[in-house]
Amino acid sequence: MVKVLLVDDEPLECEAIRFILERERPEVQVVGQAGSGRLALKLARELRPDIVFMDIQMPGIGGLEATQALKEAVPGVKVVMLTAYDEFDFAQRALKLGASDYLLKPARPQEILRVVDNMCRELAEAAAREEEEKRLRQELEAMMPFIATGLVLDLVSGRSTNLEQLKERASFLGLGPGPYQVLLVDIDHFAASTQARREVERQVLKKEVYQALLRTLQDNAQGLVTPLGSDTFLVLACVPGGKEAALELAEKLREAVASSTPCTVTVGVGTTCADLAEVPLSYAAAQRAVRYGSFFGADQVVASSELERGDAESTFYPYELEARLAQSVRLGEAETARAVFRELWQRLSAATAGEAELARARALELATVLTRAALEGGAESSVLSVLQRASLEELTAAPTAAAVKEWVRAVLDECLKAVEASQAALRSEVIGQAKRYINQHFREPVSLEDVAREVHLSPFYLSRLFKEKEGVNFVDYLTRLRLEEAKKLLAQTNDTVAAIAEQVGYAEANYFSRIFRRHFGMSPSEYRERRFRAAAEPQG
């Protein structure tokens, strides 16, 4: 509904326009009428009209002054000036002050309708443009987290070498010119502590942590918070105060998560970056800090400056082998894990030149990776926490690099055992779930793919697992179940063989009879006849 305000000290002029609009344009509503510029401004502020018909010559505040004030009071309002022939110069001045059009008095109906139609079209176009701009702003706002994540990934990976473009993207996201600080926030033992939760609950928990971090960052610094991995967030902040300010921000982030969510976090503080080109180095330092911190405990802030020992050889650290080793532990692939470990440690030995102290530092970092991978593979967190406490004393006592290697290998073996125990229990649970599903649905045309879908495994893996746990494959198990049920029905009912075949999941009676004969050496009819004869013979 388009709202119109009529302003003229001659009431008949207002009534004539009102009559024309009510008769010809019922979708346009006259919401008020004023005989002076002062009253017009008062009504306009209250009624917020879309179109105002304004007489130029009125007592007190005239039309020109009222138009100027009206455009400031009600932005976007359309003003149509009403003027006599000898006031044309006034009309031109009114257009310069923001009036949209003018009409000569007395205004003819077709001219009034022409002007109103034009105003309505312009108002509709303006509303559409505003709605489109609002939609674009909303879409852009929704995209901002993805844009931020893209920038962060480009920065930490070093993929983008165009520093000016990176600065432009950072500025678009609200980041200042630096210095910058990378803080890596890792949710403590998330995989193990949420194992019993549904996936939607885990995602809601991560969102709560993210929101706590975002609120704290917005209250204390310029920066970005983006998810990075399954249970890790990266904070890229502008921290002019250097190391002390970065540690203070990290502590606030840690406290915010602990106080507003059920989780705790370990925050690794990277090195200070003079510009965006140094972010990969700060990120690598924050990673090392998180690894050390998570091994020694939880709910803490660890500064990379505390771990700068051995940085000279860090360039040579075989991260690709470490990632392969972690993946092998996560999947419980013991042989692969041990082979990768041997290659990895050979590389580490070369980098540390046989120095026991440097070897211990690398061993501790590697043990952190192994225990984290084991937790992600389903190992019990209680088992691994005991392992951590017991093993630290042994590592400290290891006198040589060779002894350190044996310590790490022992940690690897314990992690693999913990994952295998967890996966064995999981396999038993999955097969039990699969058997329950088959027992409930064997009368239907159930397939291996149906069961695999139910237990969230691939058909190939389920088939292999079923054979391993049950000693028979899926088809044999299903056939045996159906035939045992068929024997009961043949002995206890008078249903036809065709009806029984259908009841136990076989669409064709002939195929059912062939399968039955193959397993029991007789047809279904022969089996029924023998059972009936045996039941009829006198006992004793």
Summarize pLDDT for 105-156 with one digit per residue, the tens.
Answer: 888 899 989 989 998 998 888 888 888 888 877 776 666 667 777 777 777 7
Can you name the residues that pair with 354 across neighbouring β-strands? none
Return the pLDDT at 311.
44
Question: What is the secondary structure of 191-218 as a DSSP string?
Answer: HHHTTTS-HHHHHHHHHHHHHHHHHHHH
Residue 83: strand pairing partners: 104
- At a CB cut-off of 8 Å and minimum separation 6, what does 333 contact? none
Those residues of the chain that have pLDDT short of 50 are 309-315, 386
Distance CA 431, CA 452 (A): 10
CA distances from 290 to 186, 246, 309, 369, 420 (A): 7, 15, 15, 10, 26
Classify the C-alpha dihedral 26-29-34-40 as positive or negative: negative
- How far apart, in whole angstroms, are the C-alpha atoms of residue 257 and residue 263? 7
For residues 185 and 287, the answer to whether their CB atoms sit within 8 Å is no
Whole-angstrom distance, CA of residue 280 vs CA of residue 315:
12
SS3 content of the chain, % helix, strand, coil (to 5): 70, 10, 20
User: Taking the CB of residue 439, how many other CB atoms lie within 10 A of it?
Assistant: 10
C-alpha to C-alpha distance for 108 and 120, rounded to whole angstroms: 18
Q: Tokens 């075949």: give the residue.
A: 501
Model confidence over 25-77: pLDDT tens digits?
Answer: 999 999 999 988 889 899 999 999 999 998 888 877 877 888 888 888 888 88
Tokens of 383: 């088992």
Q: Can you give the pLDDT at residue 170? A: 77
Instruction: For the full predicted model, state whether its pTM sits above 0.85.
Output: no
Question: Which tokens sit at 135?
Answer: 């939609």
- DSSP letters, 354-394, are T-HHHHHHHHHHHHHHHHHHHHHTT--HHHHHHHHHHHHHH
